[in-house]
Amino acid sequence: MVSSQVRKRFAAYQLAQKLSTGHEPTNAVVVRRAVLHAKKHDLFATLLESVRHRQQPVQDADFDPDNIFGDVPARRTERGAVKDGRQQSFRPSKQELAVIDGFTTAYGFPNRSDFLNGALDAFLPALPEGRGRSR
């Protein structure tokens, strides 16, 4: 599961690659590139912090300098839908899946989806600004 914005950027990246190289990378290749990019640039800690802030936005009222309550990583902070998520399929090899799961566990990501969403978000280029309708 990835955010709908990441999913749109995923498709745009594939199309841009097809237009520039003549070959559209498979979903597994895009995921692999995103994970390699995160490793090359040592982004795992930054990605994890980003996941935590998405799950638990920090507000002044939540400031706990003495850590009285401790960290509750899985706690939701707002009611309603848990995630803006869409399924993005890919077929990794057993080795690729083991590497992804290893990074997910080693860096303390809540799950594989959060890890991959973060890696893809860091890797994929932003969508071009939408042009307004002219009449």
Question: Which residues contact residue 99 at a Cβ distance below 8 angstroms, ignoring those fewer than 6 apart?
Answer: 35
- Of 24, 39, 5, 12, the closest CA to residue 117 belongs to 5
Residue 104 near residue 115, CB atoms below 8 Å: yes
- In order of 9, 28, 52, 82, 110, the CA distances from 71 in angstroms are 32, 34, 10, 19, 13
pLDDT score at 117: 93
pTM as predicted: 0.74
Residue 102 near residue 31, CB atoms below 8 Å: no
Q: Where are the domains of the chain?
A: 2-58+86-123
For residues 29 and 81, what is the distance between their CA atoms, to the nearest angstrom?
30
| CA 57, chain centre distance (Å) | 17
pLDDT score at 101: 96
pLDDT tens digits along 50-84: 887 766 656 677 777 787 877 665 555 555 555 55
pLDDT score at 46: 93
pLDDT tens digits along 89-124: 888 999 999 999 999 999 999 999 999 999 999 999
